[in-house]
Structure 1
Amino acid sequence: MRFVIDETSWRFDGLDQNACIEALEILLDLLDDANEQGHLACYSEELFSRVVWQNKSFYELYEPNLPISIPWEVQERVAILFARLSKWEELDFSLPPALDVQIAQENDEHAPSIAWAYEQTKQDKTNAVACLVFSSIRLTGFIDVTVNDITEKLWFITDHKHYCGFFRWLITDTTKNPSEMEAFVRSAFPSIDFVPGVFNGIKDMSKPYREIINPLTEHLGTLSDHGKRIFSAAWINAPAEFGSLGIDLSDENGKTKKNSTAKKERSINIEGEDIIFWWHSKLEPDRDRIHFYPDRIKDGGRLLVGIFCHHLTT
């Protein structure tokens, strides 16, 4: 289980119709992404019975004539999505010792699902559970949560940026080898495709996995977040653009491109096409490279990572 919905953040008072529905649809989008990527989510049995607007529960907002009402198409999405979800109270997981939590050193509040996520994370960080929260209600990001005077950090997610951040944190803070990392890359770096088997190359880099994973994640995160924008413009500006973001990268020079050995090392046949991975980011000035192929971006595709290595022939 990777996500739980924080029912206590479903408070719509003070929001107009458009803001409320937009925030709700973002949350539903995140649940769709999680499901598509194979990550389970759950919710509390209290979610649909609690008051969310004035004196009304969520289902009572299906009435079309209210100032805040849930449109029919959103009702359908809710029905489809929640039919796939479980209630955490019915799962065979550790139950929280208390349901009152303190978030970011604020006053205690009764928040059962946050307390449940806290307990799972406290038991085993590799199985950390993030809280999907309704936008504008809570702090978002990696937040201190205290139960019975013991503090753990939990992820509070309202958007795709924090969704990716959660999985990047799982990679940097909980994984022990490239295989464990690979399980999270689709969620952590959604704008990158990876050549099958590419992660084996991390073992050839100059440092052990745990020593290299932070800069590796930083480079991949920046490529995912900014690659489409930067490589949709003039490529000659890409090194400077990424340099301003703290990432050293470049295309190979003409001498290297004329070297047959260098060309062969950088070539991978993918579905009958030889792809040459000339572009690369540099974790260190003289070693540890991520070779990638940005050419597909111009046709609406993703940046493709093909090689992790110590260094190739120049």
Structure 2
Amino acid sequence: MSKFSILITGANGFVGQALVHRLQQEPAIRIRKALRSTPASTDDTVGIGDIGPNTDWTKALVGIDAVIHCAARVHVMHDAGSAESLERFRQVNVEGTRRLALQAAAAGVRRLVLVSSVKVNGESTSGRLPYRHDEPPAPQDAYGISKHEAEQALWEVARTTGIEAVVVRPPLVYGPGVKANFQSLMQAVACGVPLPFGLSNNCRSMVYLGNLVDLLQRCATDPRAPGNIFLAGDGSDMSTGELVRQLAHAVQRRPRLLPVPPSLMRIVARILGKSAVAERVLGSLQVDIRHTCTTLDWQPPFSVAQGLQETVAPLLGSPRV
């Protein structure tokens, strides 16, 4: 019996590496990694160069049953959202996705799973219910707009070619190797730095890397997945203060939380021109994953506590499970 073949784009990225590791444990699955560059292409690794409207995916797609498209121009905090910035995002995220989907369909690939972003839904759920999979998109920055347009490009190719399309929108992804704000917060907690989140009353969804790659595997292989948008999450939301408490427990430190009113922090942030930064820390952003769980009969296999323990393990010098 032949193995089910999956191409992973962005296979050396944060999500891609974890996905490769996961699928390599599955005896019934054969993987091929698509990288920007590689010394020499082999049957399981192919260099495809820069991603855009002219990328040649031909070699990478030979004999492939499904594609999990992780590669993208990623969101950066200092992006100003200019027209030039949006065009750069579109070249990679929109036209690159369209090109991959068209060539995948021509190569006989059955399914393409696009790793999108909750930023397609919007930036905040403060004062409203969690985002649902079926509500109108409301992207607000260049990255979110490009991811929304990438989804639309994929649906268009699916309609005209018959390739099965699946979209997964994760919120903040954490796990071993996480960078940016989550890494800074984790290090601050580990060093015992006092943090002003003792009175935080927000609620945010996140997804542990292990839960996300488990969901992506399900989306690539489950016959119930095509035609759906799936929101990803751990199914256990928390405030910034609660996250600090759980991180402190994971690094075996006492949480040092100062009782600073969020309203005061927002005023200071506004004076300093950092309102957007404050909203990311103090605001709410929740996703409703019930559609994902019921459609795919899926539950996150790892708890938040397990995910955080794995995430801080490299910081503590502990071996990963």
Q: TM-score, normalised by structure 2?
A: 0.27
User: Which structure has more strand as a fraction of its residues?
Assistant: 1
Structure number with greater Rg is 1
Q: TM-score, normalised by structure 1?
A: 0.27
